[in-house]
Structure 1
Amino acid sequence: MNTVNIIAAFVNKYLIYLMIVLMILAYFMPQQFLWILPRITNLLSIIMFCMGMIL
């Protein structure tokens, strides 16, 4: 459980930086991110569920 807490703290602290890096990578290397297209609905569902659980 300690590992999960460490990962959660890291993501919580550096999430905005991770998002910016991923956006830049996706802009310059779009072929590497095409696998996400058919999974957008599932990913958005997971994000909305997590946001609801936080609230």
Structure 2
Amino acid sequence: MVDVKAKGSNFKDIVNKIGLPTIVIGGFWIVLLITGSAFGISMKTLISDTI
């Protein structure tokens, strides 16, 4: 129980340090990669196109 509480508070600290926008951007990238792979677009072309 103590470990779970410690992990929970650590997760909150991590979220506060990283910030919400970074998490939103990260989530957007994950969705982009999932939809890209679903449509048969390889990750290499996806990344090279964005860069």
Normalising by the smaller structure, the TM-score range is 0.3 to 0.5
Query: Higher Cα Rg: structure 1 or 2?
Result: 2
TM-score, with length taken from structure 2: 0.41
Q: Which has the higher contact order (CA 8 A, sep 6+)?
A: 2
